[in-house]
Structure 1
Amino acid sequence: MPVFLDDDPPILICADLQVEYLTPGRRHLIRDGDAATARCLELLALWRNNLQPVMHLKRIAQAAWFNPSSRLTDWIEEAKPRPGEMTFEHPLPSAYSSSRFVDYMSNIRNVRCILIGFSLDETILATAIDGFHRSHRYQVIGDAVACRQAGTGDADAYKQAVVNVVGNFATIHFSAELIRTSGAVAV
């Protein structure tokens, strides 16, 4: 059950909302791309309208399949960070692989982070685990996350299995639980 706390606004963390994950034929093409993107953009708009803190994570890996000079690492147009929104680039799956992110997170008190975005089976999972071990509170929005195409087998079962693992390190909510009827955030 969500707790309504107006004095401790949560930070919305948009994980890897990059073109790479929506480009057909790419290794990291996510499933449920349209639905997850729509939900992410809805939550991002809500946070922006309520003037609540927004953070953007951008995966910049040093591997042949993820060329940082490629336009595929660009933000999805509608999700580009705005002035005043924090951005952190991370080379490894966890956002904690960014020293700037580690510094920021270690210097704020009573942090509550809402994780949405792509790479559920990489960035979101790794960040939730690293955050858990630092006593940071993460909530993952199950209908605003997506993961790459599973190699074989049932894609829905794969996503649910990853969500179940993430649930060991973060609280899992859905966007309907997060949004009050007034349009305010409820967590």
Structure 2
Amino acid sequence: MELQKNAALILIDQQKGILHPTLGSRNNPEAELRMLELLAFWRHSARPVIHVHHLSRSPDSVFWPGQAGVEVQPRFEPMAGEELIQKQVPDAFSGTRLEENLRKAGIGQLVIVGVATNNSVESTARTAGNLGFDTWVAEDACFTFDKADYFGNARSASEVHAMSLGNLHGEYATVSSVRRILEAG
């Protein structure tokens, strides 16, 4: 693994709504700390940072525009020069200029972190891989929530997280840890 000098860090949905108790139990309680480690490294090494925020089309969503849940968490506030992509569906490429902006900047490698692993992270990583980007997902800088499977069986956030990462690894992305990504940089 070698981290390119212009690899982009993509931080997904670090908004206040993701902390809402109605979303249920989650895994990786230190995921935000791992995200902040990567963010500090990216900023220090002057690599591109892209913040992706969700603006829901559903009035019942914690990400419905015009309410507090859509606001960015203060510790993830974009800095000058960092790109902000607003999406309305889980995939950060769908209906946005993300691919166009990455191609214009000559960026071919992406490190994706955020929430939810099985939703916006997986969807964005799948598309990135399909578009030919060298895509990495930092497993310990992502998290998700408990969820029932198709048959109604309760699955823990850890199980959902692991299955989602399993879906990605080796086919759409390289799943790794923050430590290994930092060592590659």
Report if TM-score (shorter chain) is over 0.5.
yes
Superposition pairs of residues 51-70 of structure 1, within 5 angstroms: 51-66=46-61, 67-70=64-67
Shift, 1:132, TM fit: 1.8
| 1:153 pairs with one of 152, 155, 164 | 155
TM-score (norm 1): 0.86
| 1:169 pairs with one of 151, 172, 175 | 172
RMSD, aligned α-carbons:
1.8
Superposition pairs of residues 107-118 of structure 1, within 5 angstroms: 107-118=104-115
Shift, 1:9, TM fit: 2.5
In the alignment, what sits opposite 2:2?
3
Distance in 2, matches of 1:4 and 1:164, equals 22
Which residue identity lines up with residue 61 of structure 1 in the other structure?
A: S
Kindly indicate whether residue 181 of structure 2 is the aligned counterpart of residue 178 of structure 1: yes
Q: Name whichever of 164-173 and 148-157 sits farther off.
A: 148-157
Distance in 1, matches of 2:125 and 2:175, equals 11
Distance in 1, matches of 2:100 and 2:3, equals 28
Distance in 1, matches of 2:38 and 2:3, equals 17
Per-residue deviation, residues 47-88 of structure 1 (Å, max 9, x unmatched): 112221111001112012321111101111100101110000
- Going from structure 1 to structure 2, the CA distance change for 1:72 and 1:155 (only over 3 Å counts) comes to same
In the alignment, what sits opposite 1:22?
19
Shift, 1:142, TM fit: 0.7
In the alignment, what sits opposite 1:75?
72
Kindly indicate whether residue 86 of structure 2 is the aligned counterpart of residue 89 of structure 1: yes
Distance in 2, matches of 1:82 and 1:58, equals 14
Shift, 1:46, TM fit: 1.4
TM-score (norm 2): 0.87
Distance in 2, matches of 1:178 and 1:103, equals 25
Identity %: 21
Distance in 1, matches of 2:128 and 2:3, equals 22
Which residue identity lines up with residue 2 of structure 2 in the other structure?
A: V
Per-residue deviation, residues 17-43 of structure 1 (Å, max 9, x unmatched): 111111212x3x561363111111111
In the alignment, what sits opposite 1:183?
none
In the alignment, what sits opposite 1:138?
135
Q: Name whichever of 64-73 and 147-156 sits farther off.
A: 147-156
Distance in 1, matches of 2:155 and 2:131, equals 34
Conserved? CA contact 1:129–1:166, under 8 Å: yes
| 2:29 pairs with one of 34, 37, 58 | 34
Conserved? CA contact 1:22–1:30, under 8 Å: no
SS at match of 1:95: coil
Conserved? CA contact 1:95–1:123, under 8 Å: yes
The number of residue pairs the alignment matches comes to 177
Which residue identity lines up with residue 21 of structure 2 in the other structure?
A: P
Shift, 1:145, TM fit: 0.7
